[in-house]
Amino acid sequence: MPRTRLYRDGKLAKEDFPAADISDYVTDPAAVVWLDLCPPEGDDLQLIEEEFGLHVLALEDAVHPGQRPKLDHYGSHLFLSCYAVADPGTPVDPGAPGTLAAHELAVFVTRNALITVRKSTGFDIERVTARWDELANLAECGVGFLLYGLLDCIVDSYFTVTERLDERVDALEDKLFDESRDQIRAVQRESFLVRKDLMRLRRIVLPMREVVNELLRHDSPLVGPTLMPYFQDVYDHLLRVSEQVDSLRDMVATMLEANLTIQGNRLNTIMKKVTSWAAIIAVPTAVTGFYGQNVPYPGFGRLSGLLTSSAIILIGVVVLYWVFRRKDWL
């Protein structure tokens, strides 16, 4: 069911009225209208195309999923494609898929209307309306006020997910030096999942930063002197998120390299131990093998000969064991 709101003279005048009534308000210069379509249907798209004169290319982008975050300028309106993200799960949780949930939104901005098109209900639009209610003192700024509230909620979702990813990275650091076989596999798997989430979040945040920067650069009536600090705040938040994402991505890459180095060091340690024990075993093998040939050895057939060969074996083994222990090979 479409959601609607009507602001008149900077105040909320009506809410959840039929979408067909929009035509009664869009011609009023004192009115600002919000329309939310989730999911969009053919009749709804035809309605907004007729009422607001939306460009056919923008409508195509609004209904086709997988659009890159962008801001397109048309003669009578703007078209914004963006993504809100959801919490990817708890840190190092074997049951969590670790895949970032991204919810695509298409936004049309006209002189006195904001139209949001959601392809799924994953993004909670109630958070946006609550944000507008908190900023009721800015409602007199018109449709720019609605756009700011929407962008602010979207960027807040980036902060929430980034903080959770930071927690997951911290948990990975704590488990990095655990020598348990199960933990080694869990760290490797979680590292790749976190890196995948960070890469996807980065592909969302960086274009959004350019979108907001473009809104600030253009002399648009949407961003007047009153709203300029608010949009600048959104841009600063996007800068912080992008920097944090890059930092976390570098940390995960370093952890993957460290994990491989640790595994290599463990393999070297194992090889040193195996080689050391092989060297120790080689001493009695050499002695007994040599004297096991069909040649008489000193003391052959006497007790002193047996004791001498046994002493040589024992002393050789003890000396090698002591040397290897001093070198920390055993």
Q: Which residues of 118-136 are buried (b: 16+ CB within 10 A; e: fewer)?
A: bbeeebebebbbebbeebe
Over the chain, what is the mean pLDDT?
Answer: 83
CATH of domain 3-263: 3.30.460.20
Between 216 and 182, the more confident residue is 216
How do residues 67-82 score in pLDDT, each as one tens digit? 999 999 988 899 999 9
Model pTM? 0.77
Maximum CA extent, the chain: 121
**Which tens digits make up the pLDDT trace of 295-320?**
566 666 677 777 877 787 788 778 87
203-238 residue pLDDT tens: 999 999 999 998 888 667 788 888 999 999 999 999
| H-only helix segments in 176-302 | 181-217, 228-291
**pLDDT, position 279:** 77
Q: What is the pLDDT of residue 296?
A: 63
pLDDT at 156: 92
Q: Which of 17-21, 224-228, 322-326 has the lowest mean pLDDT?
A: 322-326
The domain spans of the chain are 3-263, 273-326
Q: Check pLDDT > 60 for residue 134.
A: yes
Whose structure tokens read 């060297």?
279
Which pLDDT band holds residue 292 (cuts at 50, 70, 90)?
low
The partner residues of 84 in beta bridges, in order of sequence, read: 103
What is the residue-wise DSSP string for 12-31?
A: EEEES--GGGGGGTTT-TTE
Note the pLDDT tens digit of each residue in 252-287. 888 878 777 777 777 777 787 777 778 777 777 766
pLDDT category at 92 given cuts 50, 70, 90 is very low
pLDDT at 122 over 80: yes
Of all residues in the chain, the percent with pLDDT exceeding 70 is 88
Query: Where is 320: in which H helix or E strand?
Result: helix 303-326
State the residue for tokens 């991505």.
249
Secondary element (H or E) of residue 52: helix 42-52
CB-based contact 7:113 (threshold 8 Å): no
Q: The tokens 């007790």 sit on which residue? A: 303
Q: What percent of the chain has pLDDT over 90?
A: 30
Contacts of residue 263, Cβ cutoff 8 Å, sequence gap at least 6: 184
Band of the pLDDT at 35, cuts 50, 70, 90?
A: very high
- Helical (H) or strand (E) element with 114: strand 113-118
pLDDT at position 270 is 73
User: 18-27, 53-62, 106-115, 153-162: lowest mean pLDDT where?
Assistant: 18-27
Could you tell me the pLDDT band of residue 244, with boundaries at 50, 70 and 90?
Answer: very high
pLDDT of residue 172: 83
What's residue 115's pLDDT? 94
Whether 243 shows a pLDDT value over 90: the answer reads yes
**What's the confidence (pLDDT) of residue 91?**
43
Q: How far apart are CA 235 and CA 145, in angstroms?
A: 15
Neighbours of 54 (CB within 10 A): 20
Quick check: 62 pLDDT over 70? yes
Could you read off the pLDDT of 145-177 as tens digits, one per residue? 999 999 999 999 999 899 989 888 888 888 777
Q: In this predicted structure, what is the pLDDT of residue 95?
A: 42
* pLDDT confidence band for 90 (50 / 70 / 90): very low
